[in-house]
């Protein structure tokens, strides 16, 4: 199920299970493939599910350079090559995984059948956010990831998840803590450098499912509604009692929407 895949520059740790139409799950920042655990368990029964730890995250190797969104998208395509998957995939990305999804569409359009965009954004960072990311990138190299594990938690989960699922919250904190400072720093700089892709949306003429937690403060409902409106073939699902991590917080509801989308 978990395998090490050597790419040109680095080795990635990749979850690969099941048979059938391939679904590629791309995790958010600063997490790893296991944030998709409930989807991997459910959809490996009917689909081939592939979920890499992006470079610098989880058990994958760090790279010496900035992890730009195009580089991460090309890594995903290289993983598909290594697994000899040449059918177009459904790509399901959350947040940073969504930033990677836009680039995958741009750079590898023939490999993409459908898109699932969870809790993500099409806009670039504001100058203040970009500045903050650069500062965090320096800080993480000096101090490690502990400050991120502390500061991000309340932005990732709805108040209900925080109070009712403390084990899940702890688990995600642990995911953040075990990432390498070098990998996290490289991705912060990569996200800061990403372009505004809002103009691309009307051209992404493939079936798309847009999912957002009702209480997501990072990619709020109104912003995701605007993305869904701009995508020519999309539907929007708002997940109650979920924050930024809707697939982890409300897996049954998210899986139901995903199942319906994959069936269509």
Q: Which CB atom, from 48 or from 224, has the smaller least distance to ligand MLT?
A: 224
DSSP string of the chain, one letter each residue: -EEEEE-SS-EEEEEEE--SSEEEEE--TT--GGGGHHHHHHHTTTSEEEEEPPTTSTTSPP-SS---HHHHHHHHHHHHHHTT--SPEEEEEETHHHHHHHHHHHH-GGGEEEEEEES--SSPPPHHHHHHHHHHHHHHHHH-SHHHHHHHHHHHS-HHHHHH-HHHHHHHHHHHHHS-HHHHHHHHHHHHTPPP-GGGGGG--S-EEEEEETT-SSS-HHHHHHHHHHSTTEEEEEETT--S-HHHHSHHHHHHHHHHHHH-
Q: Which of 47, 133 has the CB closer to ligand MLT?
A: 133
Q: How far is the CB of 64 from ligand MLT (least distance, A)?
A: 22
Closest to ligand MLT by CB, 191 vs 211, is 191
Shortest CB 156 distance to ligand MLT, Å? 7
CB-nearer residue toward ligand MLT: 44 or 103 = 103
CB of 70 to ligand MLT, least distance (A): 16
Residues that bind ligand MLT (CB under 6 A): 28-29, 95-96, 191, 218, 244
Shortest reach from residue 245's CB to ligand MLT, in Å:
8
Q: Identify which of residues 149 and 191 has a Cβ nearer to ligand MLT in the complex.
A: 191
Min. distance of Cβ 27 from ligand MLT in angstroms? Answer: 8
């Amino acid at each position: 199920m978990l395998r090490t895949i050597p790419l040109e520059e680095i080795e990635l740790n990749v979850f690969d299970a099941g048979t059938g139409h391939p679904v590629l799950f791309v995790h958010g920042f600063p997490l790893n493939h296991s944030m998709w655990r409930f989807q991997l368990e459910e959809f490996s029964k009917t689909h081939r599910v592939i979920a890499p730890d992006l470079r610098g995250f989880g058990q994958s190797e760090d790279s010496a350079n900035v992890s730009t969104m195009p580089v991460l998208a090309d890594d995903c395509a290289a993983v598909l090559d290594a697994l000899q998957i040449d059918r177009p995939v459904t790509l399901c990305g959350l947040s940073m995984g969504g930033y990677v999804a836009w680039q995958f569409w741009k750079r590898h359009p023939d490999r993409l059948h459908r898109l699932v965009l969870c809790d993500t954004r099409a806009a670039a960072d504001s100058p203040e956010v970009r500045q903050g990311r650069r500062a965090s990138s320096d800080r993480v190299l000096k101090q490690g990831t502990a400050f991120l594990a502390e500061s991000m938690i309340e932005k990732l989960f709805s108040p209900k998840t925080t109070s009712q699922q403390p084990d899940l919250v702890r688990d995600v904190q642990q995911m953040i803590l075990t990432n390498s400072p070098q990998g996290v720093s490289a991705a912060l700089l990569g996200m800061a450098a990403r372009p505004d892709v809002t103009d691309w949306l009307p051209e992404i003429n493939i079936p798309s499912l847009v999912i957002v937690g009702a209480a997501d403060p990072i990619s709020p409902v109104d912003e995701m509604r605007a993305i869904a409106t701009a995508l020519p073939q999309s539907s929007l699902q708002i997940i109650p009692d979920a924050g930024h991590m809707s697939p982890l917080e409300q897996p049954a509801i998210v899986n139901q929407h995903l199942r319906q989308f994959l069936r269509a």
